[in-house]
Structure 1
Amino acid sequence: MSNKIIVDWNNIDELEDYFITYLLYKESKTVSQISKIRNISTMEVKDQLIKAKLQIKSLSKEKVESSKDILDKYLELSKSERLDFIEELNLDDDRMIKFKRELYKRIRTEKNAEDLIILIWTTGELKEEKYLDLLHALTMHRHSDIRRITYSAIRKISSPRSRTCLEKGLYDSNPQTRQYCAKALAIIGNDNSLKILEKLIKQKSHEKEYVLRAYEEAIQALENESF
């Protein structure tokens, strides 16, 4: 199968049967439902899904490795393909080390906001503390979506080194960013974090409900800790 084939409904005439089963699965159809829709046994549905996933994973790997610049091709992958690729890298220490090194360098120089967001998201999936110096600096970025995804990555890494940075993020103009920071501080916060959250929760009229819930959950978690 050529790696130029696109697995979606617009390309259905060129797809093997197992990819049609996979597309139904991606639309949240259950194995039982797919069995009835396709008039095949549930066992055959499961076999086709395994075959499709393995093929897609193989194509994702080929797509990346055929490029001189691994990150250029990585940026072209869908979110699920990127997750599959990272999973594959976990099986190869040398390739993972090279990828992490290239990722660090690219984040420092990337000017395109959409690509930078993907690169930052990747650091969160890798959960590597060595990216924190870059991430902490990016929390000052003028682009709110970049700040938001940066705080999301910092939350996934969950290092005490980020505590002060996350406390500052509680005052960010983006409400989802404030939510991320509260959720992170619920895990790595201290007495100072608790005092800030208690002060902010008093300003209920100025805050989104889902952010207030994150504040309340963080306060409850921190109150159960002994500092």
Structure 2
Amino acid sequence: MKKIELTWSNIKKLEEHHITYLLYLEGRSIDEISIIRRMPKEQVERHILECKIGLSKKTSEEDLLIKIISLNKEDRLEYLNRISKSEKEALVMEIYKRYIKFKNPEDRMILIWLIGELKDKRLLPFIRMELRSKYVNLRRLCCSALGKIKDVKTKDWLEEALEDINPQVRQYAAKALEYVGDVETINKLREIIVDKKEKDYVKKAAYNSLVSIESKSAN
């Protein structure tokens, strides 16, 4: 598949899975594409995977991110565990240069996950940006990534996320605050614990972090 072929101007020459992938590249979600194309979500996912596999086979070194995004989670972890320090640095730079070119939320979720695994603070601006995303899973993964990076400068971001409209985002924010929270954070976590309307799993995450922060503050 030549890159130049994947354009709307060539639509008469494209196959069905190519058209699906073009919508994906525009940032459409799986659900949206399913409605637009009038096909089951499973078929949409097969089309996208078919294109990604085709791209990963034909891309060069400079398209490293496409290859990684095409892998499943286990293979991505294996890849990260076996690459050298210099290769990790190259991957960080690829993400830094190309992150905003990836429009689809599913691709960005994988990239945010990668940022968390790489723990490179230079990539924090992308997390800050995605904490304001309309996609719940992106915001949740951002909080998870911050829990791995453990930069105290992100404390305020996570405290803001404690007020997110989605309970899973609040849960992951509470978990991540265990590593960067301070005495001021304790009061915010207490408010969650005593909130009768809050989900039990969010309260549990807040309590565990509160205990951890208090323990570190006492030492």
List aligned pairs for 1:1-227, cutoff 5 A.
Answer: 67-68=59-60, 69-89=63-83, 91=84, 93-203=85-195, 205-226=196-217
Q: TM-score, with normalisation over the residues of structure 2?
A: 0.69
Is the 2:65–2:95 contact (alpha carbons within 8 Å) kept by the matching residues of 1?
yes
User: Retained in 2: the 8 A contact 1:107–1:120?
Assistant: no
Instruction: Tell me the distance in 1 between the aligned counterparts of 2:89 and 2:56.
Output: 16
For the pair shown, the structure with the greater C-alpha radius of gyration is: 1
| 1:224–1:95 CA distance, 2 compared to 1 (3 A) | closer
> How much does 1:108 deviate?
2.4
Q: Which has the higher contact order (CA 8 A, sep 6+)?
A: 2
Which amino acid counterpart does residue 140 of structure 1 have in structure 2? R
CA contact (8 A) 2:92 2:120 kept: no
Shift of 1:160: 0.2
Amino acid at match of 2:142: T
In structure 2, distance between residues paired with 1:114 and 1:106: 15
The percent of aligned pairs where both chains have the same amino acid is 33
Shift of 1:64: 6.1
CA distance in structure 2 between the partners assigned to 1:187 and 1:99 by the alignment: 26
TM-score of the aligned structures, taking structure 1 as reference length: 0.66
Question: Which sections of structure 2, spanning at least 5 residues, go unmatched?
Answer: 1-54
**Structure 1 residues 95, 218: CA separation in 2 closer, same or farther (over 3 Å shift)?**
closer
Are residues 73 and 212 of structure 1, via their aligned partners in 2, closer, same or farther at CA, if it must alter by over 3 Å? same
Q: Distance in 2 between matches of 1:105 and 1:149?
A: 20
Please give the secondary structure, in 2, of the residue aligned with 1:207: coil
TM-superposed CA distance for 1:145, in Å, is 1.2
> Alignment length, in residue pairs?
162
CA displacement at 1:84 relative to structure 2: 1.1
Letter in 1 for 2:133: H
Give the distance between the partners of 1:66 and 1:161, measured in 2 at CA: 41
SS in 1 for 2:132: coil
Give yes or no for contact 1:124–1:156 (8 Å, CA) kept in 2: yes
Compute the displacement of 1:209 (Å): 1.1
- Structure 1 residues 188-222: Cα deviation after superposition (integer angstroms, max 9, x where no partner): 1011111111122221x211111111111112122
Q: Would the aligned equivalents of 2:105 and 2:138 in 1 still touch at CA under 8 Å?
A: yes
How far off is 1:164 after superposition?
0.3
Q: Residue 41 of structure 1 aligns with which residue? A: none
Which whole-Å deviations, capped at 9, do the CAs of 1:33-66 have from their partners, x for residues lacking one?
xxxxxxxxxxxxxxxxxxxxxxxxxxxxxx9696
Once the 2 structures are TM-superposed, how far is the Cα of residue 187 of structure 1 from its aligned partner?
1.9
**What amino acid sits opposite 2:207 in the alignment?**
E
Residue type of the alignment partner of 1:221: S
Partners of 1:144 and 1:126 lie apart in 2 by: 22
